Amino acid sequence: MNTESHFQTAAFIWALADLLRGDFKQSQYGRIILPFTLLRRLECVLEPTKASVLTAAGEHQAKPEAVREKLLLRAAEQPFFNASKLTLGTLSDTHTADDLMSYVQSFSQDAREIFKHFEFESFVQQLSANNLLYQVVQRFAALDISPQRLTNYGMGLVFEELIRKFAESSNETAGEHFTPRDIVHLTTSLVLTGQDDKLRPHGIVTVYDPTAGTGGFLSESDEYIQQVSRDVTVSLHGQELNPESYAICKADMLIKGQGVDQVKLGNTLSDDQLPGEHFDFMLSNPPFGVEWKKVQKAITDEHNQKGYEGCFGPGLPRVSDGSLLFLMHLVSKMRARQEGGSRIGIILNGSPLFTGGAGSGESEIRRYLLQHDLVEAIVGLPTDLFYNTGIATYVWILSNHKPAERRGRVQLINATGRASKMHKSLGSKRQFVADRDIEEIVRLYGACQESEESKRFPVDAFGYRRITVERPLRLNFQASPERLAKLDDEKPLQKLEEGEREAIKAACATLGPEQVFTNRDAFTKVLKAALKTTGLKLGAPVQKAILNAFSERDPEADICLDKKGNPEPDTGLRDNENVPLDESVFDYFEREVKPHVPDAWIDEEKRDELDGRIGIVGFEIPFNRHFYQFTPPRPLEEIDADLKACTDRIKQMIEGLSA
């Protein structure tokens, strides 16, 4: 059966949703169509061995459940079985719901679990209450989707088309669980291209997706590997948070004859269901910009207690976006380089490239990835590719076993112009990446050369040191009426008795409102003498508050010195400079700062925690800056001519109206 026929079969199955119109929301169609399609396919696959399974079920009825299940799986000659005498075609028209649920409960555990997470029983009861169940059952019972008509691969295409239709019908949330197939194909191709040495015949390859969704990456990677080498055994692993997406994923895999025992349900970040496992290839499209507050305690505890022995050693991103947590989780699942290493393909939005300054969790994560030479390439994608967002996205390719020509360097590929318009928008998805563009992007990546769309940079090109530049504090002092009034705003003075405050004000007023002091030490000496006349014992906080009330910044005043005789920094003039990582901070300072502010200096106390050198190290990847092309503005004469033509047209229109 060709691909066109697969689409026709999927369209025919989806057309059965006409029965549901009016009684169910359109977004619920998939939750009924998908499990019934799965049920019918499993029934067709099991038909040749059904008699053997029933015989074995009778013979081994008294045996322990685990033993009995193994024996029935052997009799079924499939990774699943059904021990019921019923079929969709033999269900009672009066007790359809009871018969159907009895039939479903007779499946082996993996298949049974899928129907549970589809909330199949709930929908069966709704169908029954609307007198639709028997009609739906009969329609599916008459559907021929047997292996003789549809191979596992063909049935996989049909099921994926149904998943796509389901995603379209509920596209307000589809992007959380369903990655468009063009993006899946591109990312998978980038990760697996040139990996023939790992895909040797008779080998075993492991693939992992921590945000499995409906299983697009797992299915695509399996298909890609089988095309390259049919004798490779592909072991698929994944974890998914959403029960319905998890059910769809396992159903899709079961339909294709793939093992589903290593696909787990749960939160990957706080409850890793595959601990200690490492994989050859990893693919993921984590949710964009989703906060991780619900699992904050578990992740923070792991970061604090395990450090680099856990997933999140380098740092934690801000709680409003957990994308980089998924990336670090994948890095922790990499095989050791001596064992062949691993490759990762992950789709992220723009914020992981640059969010967070030097010393922040995001910057420290980027620092770890880049300084450990894990980032191989980043591909900028066109906008409007996803169902629930039109934002810019990027594919990160990581490897801990880079080929020699890529070591110490990162390739940036600008594929933002490689988009084709959709005939019909699907939610926010208005564009797609056509096969020819996917091939060209993969070719650009494989060539690893400089071009308009491809740039290569040494790792340190993305690093910098944030130095703190201080300037001296310069103040003048004056006991003017305005500044005397400011004494009432100072908290240390507010705590004094009213009589004490008035005595201080009277003493300060004797300094004279006209005299301006440009040296703090000189003013302090005069002030102390005046305050001595009050007979009050004033602590340091009160004296500091009085100085503060009478002071004002003055660039012409003398520099204020600390107790050691060093210039005191003015916090209001404090600034930061980002010095390229491969340059001396002192050379940079002398060239870029000193000529403009001769009295400035570097705060040498602010040092990086990891290397102990002056300045806090930061990393960011300004992707767009490297591909920016300046377009000069049009000549003024041309703009003036356009404006004149426009005003002339408006004049003519007004004249036409007045006539």
| Beta carbons of 31 and 114 less than 8 angstroms apart | no
User: Torsion angle, CA of 445/450/452/458, rounded to 10 degrees?
Assistant: 90
Q: Identify the architecture of domain 171-462 in CATH.
A: 3-Layer(aba) Sandwich (3.40)
Q: How far from chain centre, in Å, is Cα 531?
A: 62
pLDDT digits (tens, 9 = 90+) for 514-562: 889 999 999 999 999 999 988 888 889 999 999 999 999 999 999 999 9
Phi, then psi, of 655 in degrees rounded to 5:
-60, -40
pLDDT digits (tens, 9 = 90+) for 274-316: 999 999 999 999 988 888 999 999 999 999 999 999 999 999 9
pLDDT at 463 over 80: yes
CA distances from 563 to 194, 242, 521, 560, 571 (A): 66, 63, 11, 10, 18
Return the exposure string of 441-463: e unless at least 16 CB atoms fall within 10 Å of the residue's CB, then b: bbebbeebeeeebbbeeebebbb
pLDDT at 388 over 80: no
Q: How confident is the model at residue 513 (pLDDT cuts 50, 70, 90)?
A: confident
Alpha-carbon dihedral sign for residues 135, 137, 138, 143: positive
pLDDT at 178 over 80: no
Q: Which two tokens stand for residue 175?
A: 């992007």
**Three-class secondary structure of residue 635 per DSSP:** coil
pLDDT at 3 over 90: no
pLDDT value of position 514: 87
Residue written as tokens 């490492």?
278
| Beta carbons of 136 and 19 less than 8 angstroms apart | yes
pLDDT at 172 over 80: no
Most confident range (mean pLDDT) of 73-82, 190-199, 355-364 is 355-364
pLDDT at 173 over 70: no
Phi, then psi, of 121 in degrees rounded to 5:
-60, -40
pLDDT value of position 125: 95
CATH superfamily of 1-169: N6 adenine-specific DNA methyltransferase, N-terminal domain (1.20.1260.30)
Q: Is 391 exposed, middle or buried (0-12, 13-18, 19+ CB in 10 A)?
A: middle
Rounded distance, CA 162 to CA 246, Å?
16
Q: How confident is the model at residue 174 (pLDDT cuts 50, 70, 90)?
A: very low
* CA-only gyration radius of the chain, Å: 35
Helices of type H across 20-64 = 29-46, 50-59
pLDDT digits (tens, 9 = 90+) for 569-596: 999 999 999 999 999 999 999 999 999 9
Residue 484's H or E segment, with its range, is helix 481-485
Residue type, 309: E
Q: How confident is the model at residue 175 (pLDDT cuts 50, 70, 90)?
A: very low
pLDDT digits (tens, 9 = 90+) for 635-647: 888 888 999 999 9
pLDDT digits (tens, 9 = 90+) for 468-494: 999 999 999 999 999 999 998 999 998
Phi, then psi, of 285 in degrees rounded to 5:
-130, 80
pLDDT at 433 over 90: yes
The DSSP call for residue 499 is H
pLDDT at 1 over 70: no
Question: Average pLDDT over the chain, rounded to whole?
Answer: 90
Q: How confident is the model at residue 2 (pLDDT cuts 50, 70, 90)?
A: low
pLDDT value of position 4: 58
pTM: 0.84
pLDDT at 379 over 90: yes
Helix then strand then coil, in percent of the chain rounded to 5, is 50, 15, 35
How much of the chain exceeds pLDDT 90, in percent?
A: 65
Q: Break the chain into its structural domains and give their ranges.
A: 1-169, 171-462, 475-553
Q: Calculate mean pLDDT across residues 192-200.
A: 87
Please compute, for residue 348, the number of CA atoms within 13 A of its CA located in the half-sphere on the CB side.
23
Q: Calculate mean pLDDT across residues 458-477.
A: 96
Q: Which two tokens stand for residue 8?
A: 């026709």
pLDDT at 69 over 50: yes
pLDDT at 390 over 90: no
How much of the chain exceeds pLDDT 70, in percent?
A: 97
Q: Which residue has the higher pLDDT, 605 or 659?
A: 605
Q: How confident is the model at residue 170 (pLDDT cuts 50, 70, 90)?
A: low
The candidate with the shortest Cα–Cα distance to 34, out of 197, 246, 348, is 246
> CA triplet 191, 196, 199: central angle to 5 degrees?
90
pLDDT digits (tens, 9 = 90+) for 75-133: 998 888 999 999 999 999 999 999 999 999 999 988 899 999 989 999 999 999 999 99
pLDDT digits (tens, 9 = 90+) for 226-239: 888 778 889 999 99
